[in-house]
């Protein structure tokens, strides 16, 4: 297996050193950076593009959750914290794992096993060198007190709601403060299609497509949601799928 490039985000030098000692027993993990606060971590992650981060939740100033909110493409994330009250909340983010300090070597080895399984299954060789997201890329979504780490491939619909965009995945539909055009620029073109000025759909989640009024098409999604495709986009859709 190729080396898993890793950044440690932790304000305590002692805790960073303890993590590095644990990592020494797992040569497949390579620490390429350490950050003691969120702003440093944000710059480092964007520059070094690690596949994995060990992320402390409770840090002075901005916390670990705020870092995830700042990132557009979130690496595989393992939370580390001394406060188990965060455990349930962290799993709302779909973090890969949660390590309670002090971390013992057996528990850490279990986390490494999960990390390797996840990264192998995510097919990193499919990642692009440009700034497009892939189907396996994770995005961080925060709506009020609720937060999620979601794979792009799990999102079946993006929809404009005023100055916000509603993101539909599983049984969730939170709002994010980004325009549909901003989102579309980074989506994998082979997976998503701009149905209209208001909506972008995930092609994998289309159940069927029917002819609609005035040369338009109507796509029915797997959850029963019906999406009207504009006349112009219907023509593109027919060409794309040779309909």
Residues 9 and 48 placed together within one structural domain of the fold = yes
Residues 112 and 149 in one domain: no
Most confident range, picked from 88-97, 138-147, 160-169: 160-169
Residue 53 is predicted with a pLDDT of 96
Buried b (16+ CB within 10 A) or exposed e, 125-140: eebeeeeebbbbbbbb
Q: Which residue has the higher pLDDT, 95 or 133?
A: 133
pLDDT tens sequence across 163-213: 889 999 999 999 988 888 888 988 998 899 999 999 999 999 999 999 998
Could you tell me if 74 and 159 lie in one domain? Answer: no
DSSP state of 41: H
Is the pLDDT at 127 greater than 60, yes or no? Answer: no
Give the pLDDT confidence of 208-221 residue by residue, as tens digits.
999 998 889 999 99
Any domain includes 174: yes
- Spatial separation of the C-alpha atoms in residues 117 and 121, rounded to whole Å: 6
Tell me the pLDDT band of 103, cut-offs 50, 70 and 90. Answer: very high
Residue 92: the pLDDT is 57
Domain coverage including residue 8: 4-121
Give the global pTM. 0.67
> Distance between CA 142 and CA 56 in Å, rounded?
18
Structure tokens at 238: 């027919």
Based on the fold, state whether residues 20 and 64 are members of the same structural domain: yes
CATH of the domain at 81: 3.40.50.2300
Q: What is the CATH number of the domain that holds 200?
A: 2.40.50.1020
Is 89 a residue whose pLDDT tops 70? no
Q: Is residue 94's pLDDT more than 70?
A: no
Answer whether residue 128 is part of any domain: no
Are residues 184 and 210 both part of a single domain? yes
Residues 38 and 92 in one domain: yes
Could you say which of 87, 121, 155 is where a domain stops? 121
DSSP helix/strand/coil, 51:
coil
**128 band by pLDDT with thresholds 50, 70 and 90:** very low
**142 and 191 belong to one structural domain:** yes
Identify whether residues 94 and 144 lie together within a single domain.
no
pLDDT band at residue 7 under the 50/70/90 scheme: very high
155 and 82 within one domain? no
Residue 99 lies in a domain: yes
What confidence tier does 139 reach under pLDDT thresholds 50, 70, 90? confident
Separation between Cα atoms, residue 234 and residue 231, nearest integer Å: 5
**Domain final position from 121, 148, 173:** 121
In the chain, the number of structural domains is 2
Q: Is residue 126 part of a domain?
A: no
Higher confidence at residue 108 or residue 143?
Answer: 108
- CA-CA-CA-CA dihedral for 34, 56, 27, 152, to nearest 10: -100
- Pick the residue with more confidence: 82 or 199? 199
111 occurs within a structural domain? yes
């Amino acid at each position: 297996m190729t080396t898993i490039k890793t950044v440690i985000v932790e304000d305590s030098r002692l805790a960073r050193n303890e993590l590095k000692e644990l990592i020494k027993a797992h040569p497949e993990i390579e620490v390429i950076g350490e950050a003691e606060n969120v702003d440093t971590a944000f710059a480092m992650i964007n520059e070094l593009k690690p596949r994995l981060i060990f992320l402390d939740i409770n840090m002075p100033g901005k916390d670990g959750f705020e870092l995830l909110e700042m990132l557009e493409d979130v690496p595989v994330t393992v939370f580390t914290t001394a406060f188990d009250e965060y455990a349930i909340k962290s799993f709302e983010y779909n973090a890969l794992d949660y390590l309670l300090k002090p971390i013992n070597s057996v528990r850490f080895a279990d986390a490494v096993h999960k990390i390797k399984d996840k990264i192998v299954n995510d097919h990193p060789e499919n990642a692009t060198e440009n700034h497009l997201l892939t189907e396996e890329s994770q995005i961080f979504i925060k709506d009020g007190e609720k937060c999620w780490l979601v794979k792009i491939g799990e999102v079946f619909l993006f929809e404009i709601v005023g100055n916000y965009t509603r993101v539909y995945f599983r049984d969730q539909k939170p709002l994010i403060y980004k325009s549909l055009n901003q989102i579309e620029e980074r989506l994998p073109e082979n997976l998503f299609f701009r149905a209209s000025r208001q909506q972008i759909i995930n092609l994998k989640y289309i159940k069927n497509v029917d002819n609609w009024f005035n040369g338009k098409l109507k796509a029915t999604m797997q959850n029963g949601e019906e999406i009207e495709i504009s006349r112009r986009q219907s023509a593109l859709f027919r060409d794309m799928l040779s309909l």
